[in-house]
Structure 1
Amino acid sequence: MLRRHLIVAASIFAVFCGFTGEKLLHAADSPLASAKGELGFLTGYGISHVGFGATKSQVQTWDAILRGGWFFSDELGKGSWYQGRHETLFELPFHLAVDHGGRSMVGFYALGHWRFTSMGRIAPYILAGGGPVYVDLGLPSMGSRLCFSYQGGTGVQYFLDKTTALNMEYRYHHISNAGTASPNEPLNSSKFLFGISWFY
């Protein structure tokens, strides 16, 4: 049922962008062209994939992520398909395991983003990064409560105005103890996230 709701939400978002797409594709300036940084909040659903790699445990999570970001470049590649800006984001994630008695995971992520800026109010992006995660899932197979995450994904932002954007994002998300303890079952998961960002 939850997956169906996610598909419906994504479809509505796509249709909404489609209705405004022609105007936005011809916008002269991206709202990101002069932004210095970003503050935002994401929430959504995650699920581990049993059988993917060495993952044996299913963990479903409700995710809440606070983020802050800074742009480290002006627009690069103007006039090319990859026109965009580099941003570094720092995130404070909280992952509530809804199918493990309300146990949770908290951490700190540093992510590199490339934000495409040639489509006006629509800003696709790609991301990759990771960081330490404290895991309290009660799974002896993970070997340690101090774990590490790496992740990568893609998303799109739709700007409501020059400073406010809606986010829709997919991430591949990996957690393991990086060989610091035995056993070392990883959690290889997908995360479907939605949120809002404010740019300054």
Structure 2
Amino acid sequence: MTKILFTVMLALTLFPAAVSAADNAFVREADHEYTWLAGYGATHREFGATRTDVQTFTNILRYGWFLSDEVGKGNWYQGRHELLLELPLHMAVNHDGRVMTGGYVLGSWKFTSLEEMVPYVFAGGGVLFVDLGLPTMGTRLDFSYQGGTGLQYFIKKDLALTGEYRYHHVSNASTSTPNEPLNSSILLLGITLFR
């Protein structure tokens, strides 16, 4: 999966004219976005208190609601505030296909000063039901915080390819012992429809 993500992002970088059919003008006026993302994640063993190797195939359904008109026109930070609501499904491929699922609420800033691309940053958190069978996590009801960056590349007026990296933390927030956290990196690729 990592090779596929790398190949697509490389193609978008080297051959933008071949895949781009529109600029990002529509995102400057859109009210909502609907995104499907899929990708691969892996824990960073020895990062913080993380000791367990967990590799996940991740699917995320996202709804985005723009909270502002364009701010900072003419500046490098020109963009829009957005609230993201996500339904994640993290399937642990090296733990018999066991899952983590729940919901995330994230804040995002979309930079709108470029023509064909929209870079963005985001951060937030949520609640996860964790069924990985790891006694070191202490409980099945866990919490997550995360942050990352992404790039949306427009292929039609209201349609963009989306690539994203996120740092992802899961733990029980010291509500139970033991409390081994899962600190991971997740790479995602998907498609976004703006309305």
Q: TM-score, normalised by structure 1?
A: 0.92
Residue 20 of structure 1: how far off its partner (Å): 7.8
Query: Partners of 1:3 and 1:108 in 2: how far apart?
Result: 25
Partner of 1:107: 102
Instruction: State the Cα deviation string for residues 66-114 of structure 1 (Å, max 9, x = none).
Output: 0111101000000000000001010000000000001000010001110
Structure 1 SS opposite 2:12: helix
Question: Does the 8 Å CA contact 1:31/1:159 hold for their aligned counterparts?
Answer: no
Query: Partners of 2:18 and 2:82 in 1: how far apart?
Result: 29
1:9 corresponds to which letter in structure 2?
V
Aligned runs of 1:44-55 on 2, under 5 Å?
44-55=39-50
Q: 1:176 to 1:43 in 2, by over 3 A?
A: same
1:7 corresponds to which letter in structure 2?
F
Question: Does the 8 Å CA contact 1:30/1:118 hold for their aligned counterparts?
Answer: no
Question: Does the 8 Å CA contact 2:5/2:188 hold for their aligned counterparts?
Answer: no
Instruction: State the Cα deviation string for residues 48-73 of structure 1 (Å, max 9, x = none).
Output: 01011100001000000001111010
Runs of 4+ in structure 1 over 2 Å off: 2-10, 16-21
Decide which of 134, 140, 145 is 2:140's aligned counterpart: 145
Asked whether 1:178 is paired with 2:170, we answer no
Query: Partners of 1:157 and 1:177 in 2: how far apart?
Result: 33
Partner of 1:10: 9
Asked whether 1:163 is paired with 2:158, we answer yes
Query: Partners of 2:69 and 2:105 in 1: how far apart?
Result: 20
Query: Partners of 1:198 and 1:75 in 2: how far apart?
Result: 19
Partner of 1:87: 82
Structure 1 gap ranges (5+): none
Residue 30 of structure 1: how far off its partner (Å): 2.5
Q: 1:54 to 1:11 in 2, by over 3 A?
A: same
Structure 2 SS opposite 1:101: coil
Structure 2 gap ranges (5+): none
Query: Partners of 1:13 and 1:45 in 2: how far apart?
Result: 20
Query: Partners of 1:71 and 1:79 in 2: how far apart?
Result: 20
Query: Partners of 2:15 and 2:147 in 1: how far apart?
Result: 26
Decide which of 118, 123, 137 is 1:128's aligned counterpart: 123
Query: Partners of 2:6 and 2:158 in 1: how far apart?
Result: 27
Query: Partners of 1:87 and 1:163 in 2: how far apart?
Result: 17
Asked whether 1:75 is paired with 2:70, we answer yes
Instruction: State the Cα deviation string for residues 100-153 of structure 1 (Å, max 9, x = none).
Output: 001000010001110000112210000001100000000000000000000000
Q: TM-score, normalised by structure 2?
A: 0.94
Coordinate RMSD, CA, aligned: 1.8
Structure 1 SS opposite 2:162: strand
Query: Percent identity over the alignment?
Result: 54
Query: Partners of 1:80 and 1:188 in 2: how far apart?
Result: 35
